[in-house]
Structure 1
Amino acid sequence: MGFDKTLLVGKTILVTGAGKGIGKACVEKCVDAGAQVIAVARTLSDLQTLQQYAPSQIEIWSLDINSDAFFERLKALKTLDGLLNNAGINRVAPMLEQTDENIDDVIAMNIRSVYKISQAALPALINSGTGAVVNMSSQMGFVGSPKRTLYCMSKHAVEGLSKAMAVELADKNVRVNTVAPTFVETPMTKPMLEDATFKQFVYDMIPLKKIAQTDDIANACVFLLSGLSAMITGTSIKIDGGWTAQ
């Protein structure tokens, strides 16, 4: 099951946090739909492995997404059809234990980078004529949860930013939406889900009683980056198994 292989033919999509997990799946799904993809991550070896999936369709940029070098390279793009701001981090701890370093790190990666990357890519997105931005949010952009004050704060900010971008950029024919996953099975979440108490908490909160897979998220991103969603902007697709419906 999948999208038509011509769905994204002729489009160039840039994906941040592309080396592992959700980002890697998004790159592969975009390639499967015919896109040329610029895959961005810090770890070159991850990108080189990913590039083997489709060498002629995947261009790799091994850069820090908060670096001036990355912003300048983005600004040099003539056109860009799609931008997927996927990179992000989490710092799990009670609020009283969160350090200034944790606060600054989460803001820099989950909020500031989304703003700065979108700002730098905007001229190229406008030039494409049908630019689409997908910002990776979370179910935590709609609810709260223990020990996740920083993550919830950052993802609520992503939701607000995305709505404002959608309204401001609509007359430039640039659409902006978010994808908001529940817990997804990735190398990063695997250790958390090995904790029996935490795993039970997650399953109790998800009516569908299962953990999301990376392809579940990637499929929603491809849809929002494609012409199938030409009338959709300023909203979110929640891939949460019903968590936020309760």
Structure 2
Amino acid sequence: MKEFSYPSFDLTGKKALVTGGSKGIGLAIAAGLANAGAKVLITGRDETVLQEVADELSGRNLDVSWKVADVTSKQAVVELFEFIDANFGGIDILVNNAGMNIRKPLVEVEEQDWDKVIGTNLKGIFLVGQQAAKRMIDQKSGCIINISSIMGQVGNPLQTSYAASKGGINQLTKVWAAELAEHNIRVNALAPAYIKTPMTEPFLQDPERLEKLVGRTLLKRMGEAEEMIGPALFFASGASSYVTGQILYVDGGWTAN
């Protein structure tokens, strides 16, 4: 029988950036990557929260540092990667997570609502991904994980700008995978359903709405942020060395129902 080499989820020596890493899905993934051995930089807009989170994770002997960055600003993103160049000497893993939502009926969506959501969720993904790709092309290796959503595939009310941004992320993921494969860079996306996070908590406090959403999933419950760690580690590690251009739905069976 052929001797097999077994996959490893060990990320020792890897350098990772997690945008929107101070709470929710981003925080969980940042902690998971660091626990697997990666040196992790988290970014966000709130300096106080970033510092508190980084200090707490560092107190658990996890290698996590922080940097304030606005992913909607090209200049801020360029400065972020100049910081990474100077202090990390490169980047192996990007988790493109920063995102937001404004839930309104179509006829009530203001232009500024659209611009704010698309600017953060789609333009931000592009700006950060572009800078990461430049470094990864030079080093001829890398892994990009975009955080999408089931809303990039399914239709749900009140999601005009959010769903448009996540559908765009899915297409960016496929295009980047095709373009960057020759440079040994893999690009994939995680598409969760409703995960319990600070962003979804107010929305899920309505018992009737919560019951309806739970009823849409095969597992009959909402997801926990920690349940995003395993899928992220799969994409970030050598365990997925032959996987690129894929959208992995972490949705409790929503899209299969």
Q: Same fold (TM over 0.5)?
A: yes
- Asked whether the equivalents of residues 77 and 127 of structure 2 are also in contact (C-alpha less than 8 Å), the reply is no
2:111 aligned partner: 100
- Asked whether the equivalents of residues 9 and 34 of structure 1 are also in contact (C-alpha less than 8 Å), the reply is yes
Gaps of 5+ in 2: 1-6
Which of 218, 225, 229 is the equivalent residue of 1:218?
Answer: 229
Q: State the alpha-carbon separation in 1 of the partners of residues 158 and 146 from structure 2.
A: 23
* 1:73 to partner: Cα distance: 3.0
* 1:224 to partner: Cα distance: 0.5
1:65 aligned partner: 71
Q: State the alpha-carbon separation in 2 of the partners of residues 6 and 242 from structure 1.
A: 25
* 1:126 to partner: Cα distance: 2.3
Instruction: Please give the secondary structure, in 2, of the residue aligned with 1:208.
Output: coil
TM-score (structure 1 length as normaliser): 0.94
Instruction: Summarize deviations over 1:126-172 as a string: whole Å, max 9, x none.
Output: 23433000000001111110111211111000000100000000000
2:58 aligned partner: 54
2:140 aligned partner: 129
* 1:178 to partner: Cα distance: 0.2
Q: State the alpha-carbon separation in 2 of the partners of residues 100 and 27 from structure 1.
A: 33
2:170 aligned partner: 159
2:18 matches 1:7: no
Which of 22, 35, 40 is the equivalent residue of 2:38?
Answer: 35
Instruction: Please give the secondary structure, in 1, of the residue aligned with 2:196.
Output: coil
* 1:62 to partner: Cα distance: 1.2
2:27 matches 1:24: yes
* 1:75 to partner: Cα distance: 4.9
* 1:105 to partner: Cα distance: 0.6
- Asked whether the equivalents of residues 80 and 127 of structure 1 are also in contact (C-alpha less than 8 Å), the reply is no
Gaps of 5+ in 1: none
Q: State the alpha-carbon separation in 1 of the partners of residues 171 and 93 from structure 2.
A: 20
> When the two structures are aligned, how many residues end up with a matched partner?
243
Question: Kindly, what percent of the aligned residue pairs are identical?
Answer: 35
- Asked whether the equivalents of residues 125 and 131 of structure 1 are also in contact (C-alpha less than 8 Å), the reply is yes
